């Protein structure tokens, strides 16, 4: 999947991937997509939950050898 921007949180534990995502999304334009790279397995459940409570769109997640690529779109 192609995204407009990428955020690298490899090696960071909860809550940092979500906190960094929130700070990044704040700077983005509505409609832009973001790819979040993470190794913290919590991201699988945390990112959909974050999208649900902030009203942003969860586009999907790829997992390969313990590395996660999560895709989201800013809706507001």
Partner 1 sequence: MADKCTIVVFSGDIDKVFAAFTLATTAASMGMETEMFFTFWGLNILRKPKRFSGRNLLQKMMNLMNRGGAEHLPLSKFNLLGLGPAFMKIMMKQSRVPTIPEMLDLAKQLKVKILACTTTFSFMGYKEQDFLEGSIDKFVGAAYFLGEAKDAKVSYFI
For partner 1, the binding residue among 27, 29, 30, 53 (CB under 8 A) is: 53
The answer to whether the bond into 64 is cis (omega within 30° of 0) is no
Residues of this chain, 20-39, that bind partner 1 according to CB under 8 A:
21-23
If the CB atoms of residues 32 and 54 are measured against partner 1, the closer one turns out to be: 54
> ∠ at Cα 35 (48, 69), nearest 5°?
70
Choose, from 1, 13, 14, 75, the residue flagged as catalytic: 14
Sheet bearing 33-38, strands edge to edge = 5-9, 33-38, 67-73, 57-64
Clarify whether 51 is annotated catalytic: no
Q: Taking CB under 8 A as the rule, does residue 15 contact partner 1?
A: yes
Are the CB atoms for 72 and 58 separated by under 8 Å?
A: yes
Catalytic residues: 14
Binding site for partner 1 (CB under 8 A): 11-16, 18-19, 21-23, 50, 53-54
């Amino acid at each position: 999947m192609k995204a407009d921007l990428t955020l690298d949180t490899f090696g960071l534990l909860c809550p940092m991937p979500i906190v960094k995502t929130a700070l990044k999304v704040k700077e983005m334009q509505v409609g832009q997509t973001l790819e979040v790279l993470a190794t913290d397995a919590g991201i699988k459940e945390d990112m959909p939950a974050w999208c649900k409570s902030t009203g942003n769109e969860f586009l999907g997640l790829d997992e390969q050898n313990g590395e996660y690529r999560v895709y989201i779109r800013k809706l507001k």
